[in-house]
Amino acid sequence: MNIQEKFKAIRKQRKLSLRDLANVAGSTSSISDFEKGKTNLSNDVLLQLLGFMVVEINEIFEWSAFQDAEFLELMTQVENALQTQDITVLIQKRETLQEFFVAKNHYIYHIISLVLDVIISKLQEKEPTPEIISELTDYFFSLDYWTNLDVGLLGNIVHHFTTETLVLFTDSILKNTPNQLRNNLDRIKIDTVINCLSVLLARREKNASQELLQLLSRKQFPTYFTYEKLCISEFKAIYMYIWCDKEEADNIHQTILKTVSLLFTKDEANKWDDYFKEIISSADIKK
């Protein structure tokens, strides 16, 4: 569905006529022409109408609608190369991003290229240079507001930051996330924080893990955040197994596995079980 089709579908779902909307902003003819794809509405009019219909902007507009076509094509190629782990293509795209940075004087292209450099190093089983990690750390520390791009970039490289840095990053991200979680924009932030939590647990950072679990538990998760809620419950079980009650933790873990198998697949539940056993293994060794 394009923007106009979504707009028309929602208007009809709300049982609103063109005249109803025209009483709010615009005119019946301009709104009709917009729905037919003949003209565009001004931003002011469109935002007023979306607000009146109780529709969030991200429900209407796709990310691609705002992006430069050349950049969008480049990022699509990067995503495809990441899925196939094609190091040669990733190196090429890293260089292209640096060219974009120089040509357009846009610092975010440089940051994306540095993140790609870290990912490439991991695929090559090498460590990224301290200079790259330092520059990325400085960049993330400089953020007053975390955009979804920033959160997504961090999510790819959390393993390379110190515990103290991760604590500061997650605290900042959660402060920029509403207590009542609502949409995929919030989901991206929570998923990255959960990723950081997995690193803290693997490092046996008890206090940092406990604090982050407490911060996450204060968020109000809607029913469609089921996967995230299960992840947090599983990490609570892992925390409990490592530092508290192993038997109770294992009981919780088994309940979570049944839920994952029911809601998703048996194979997915097996992956969760393998991860649980892997991350608690050193705790068992210390018995």
Please provide the DSSP assignment of 138-195 as one string.
HHHHT-SS--HHHHHHHHTTGGGS-HHHHHHHHHHHHHTS-SB--SHHHHHHHHHHHH
Q: What local confidence, expressed as pLDDT, does residue 64 receive? A: 66
SS3 label, residue 197 = helix
CA 21 to chain centre: 34
Tens-digit pLDDT profile for the chain (287 aa)? 788 999 999 999 999 999 999 999 999 999 999 999 999 999 899 999 999 999 888 778 776 666 778 888 999 999 999 999 999 999 999 999 999 999 989 999 999 999 999 999 999 999 999 999 999 999 999 988 888 889 889 988 999 999 999 999 999 999 989 999 988 888 989 999 999 999 999 999 999 999 999 999 999 999 889 999 999 999 999 999 999 999 999 999 999 999 999 999 999 999 999 999 999 986 544 44
- DSSP state letter for 220: B
Q: How many CB atoms sit inside 10 A of residue 59's CB?
A: 11
What are the counts of helices (DSSP H) followed by strands (DSSP E) for the chain? 16, 0
Taking the C-alpha atoms of residue 190 and residue 216, their distance in angstroms, rounded to an integer, is 8
Q: What local confidence, expressed as pLDDT, does residue 152 receive? A: 87
Amino acid (1-letter code) at residue 116: L
Q: What local confidence, expressed as pLDDT, does residue 265 receive? A: 94
List the end-to-end C-alpha distance of the chain, in Å, as a whole number.
57
- Which distant-in-sequence residues (6+ apart) come within 8 Å of 95 by Cβ? 113
Q: What local confidence, expressed as pLDDT, does residue 69 receive? A: 82
